[in-house]
Structure 1
Amino acid sequence: MEIPADKTTLCPSARPELADSIVFGLVSGKVTQARVTYLKQPLPVTDELLAKASPVTPTEIFRTAAPCASKGCQHFDGKDCRLATRVAEKLPAVVEELPPCSIRRDCRWWQQAGKAACLRCPQIITDNYNPSQLMHEVALPEVVS
């Protein structure tokens, strides 16, 4: 599946139940050190694809992207994605070179934080039931007054 050129900016940390979601990576590795392996081509999220995750939740094994909700998202500050900022600034890099990511061109994190976000992206698991303290802090939405 090719992402249409007129598609909006993609959130690389979206939930699969959002409209127009795509799977762009698979989670592998150990629970304590899971990593995303990127697909050459993203796959549209379908009920059949999500069923393949059973008995675990789809977000434990799939990384999904969807059009950025911007102002509808708890991480968006009106201009930028604060989650992208925290990922790029606070998490350690887990790869030395840009991963072969099929959504990079349309990815909000790439557009906003560039290489710094990409070098940290493979450690992001949407439903991480055993996050480190740092990962937990990075994932928490900030309260904007």
Structure 2
Amino acid sequence: MKGPSVVQCPSAQPAMPGAVIHGVVDAASGKIQHLSTPEPVTPELLAMTAPLLPTQVLRISAPCQGGACGHFNGTDCTLVDRIVQIMPATDSALPSCAIRANCRWFSQRGRAACMRCDQIVTDEFVRDEQMASLTVPAGRATEQ
């Protein structure tokens, strides 16, 4: 018998408890290629991304940190709200995704989040001002 589902943040850090890799950045397109089955984060997998940061190459999910996260307003993830407001949809069909059933972004914004998810790289290799503006938690000034 399965235990209760844990809501997953789809753009987590590798050191977070319960972290799994659910996607890899396609170098040619810059978009996320979703894995059919999430892989546990291991030091060996993280080392394979060198000299880049793991979060420049991998999409990692982990249990939502709720109030411990600067993007959480007590009820919702404000990051996915900004993503849906600012980023264009890239697909008309839902991409395959192994974490959708427990994804915070999908449970909060549905298809609209999924249609933008493949554009989100936790730490971009090349700075994109639009993406940088999304990642600043609500109520905080952007860093220069």
Counterpart AA for 1:64:
I
Partner of 2:118: 122
Equivalent residue, structure 1, for 2:97: 101
Give the C-alpha shift of residue 93 in structure 1: 0.8
Paired residue type of 2:76: D
The answer on 1:21 being equivalent to 2:33 is no
CA distance in 2: counterparts of 1:100 and 1:72, whole angstroms: 29
Q: Would you say 1:36 and 2:28 are equivalent positions?
A: no
Separation in 2 of the partners of 1:9 and 1:117? Answer: 15
- Which has the larger share of strand? 1
Q: What is the CA deviation profile of residues 75-129 of structure 1, one whole-angstrom value per residue up to 9, with x for unaligned ones?
A: 0000000001111121111222111000000000000000000000001001114
TM-score, normalization by structure 1: 0.90
Out of 54, 70, 73, the residue aligned to residue 69 of structure 2 is 73
Query: Which of 79, 82, 89 does residue 78 from structure 2 map onto?
Result: 82
Contact 1:7/1:67 (<8 A) preserved = no
Runs of 4+ in 1 over 6 A off after TM superposition: none
Please give the per-residue CA displacement for 1:41-62, whole angstroms capped at 9, x wherever unaligned.
0000011111111221111111
Distance 1:83 1:130, change over 3 A: same
Identity %: 39
- Partners of 1:82 and 1:41 lie apart in 2 by 27
Superposed displacement of residue 5, structure 1 = 4.7
The separation in 2 between residues aligned to 1:5 and 1:95, in whole angstroms, is 33
What's the RMSD between the two structures over aligned residues? 1.5
Matched letter for residue 35 of structure 1: K
Cα distance between partner residues in 2 of 1:108 and 1:137 = 20
Which consecutive residues of structure 1, in runs of 5 or more, have no partner in the other structure?
A: none
Residue 95 of structure 2 aligns to which amino acid in structure 1?
A: P
Count of residue pairs the alignment pairs up: 139
**Matching residue of 1:8:** 6
Q: Which runs of 5+ in 2 are unaligned?
A: none
Alignment TM-score, normalising by the size of structure 2? 0.90
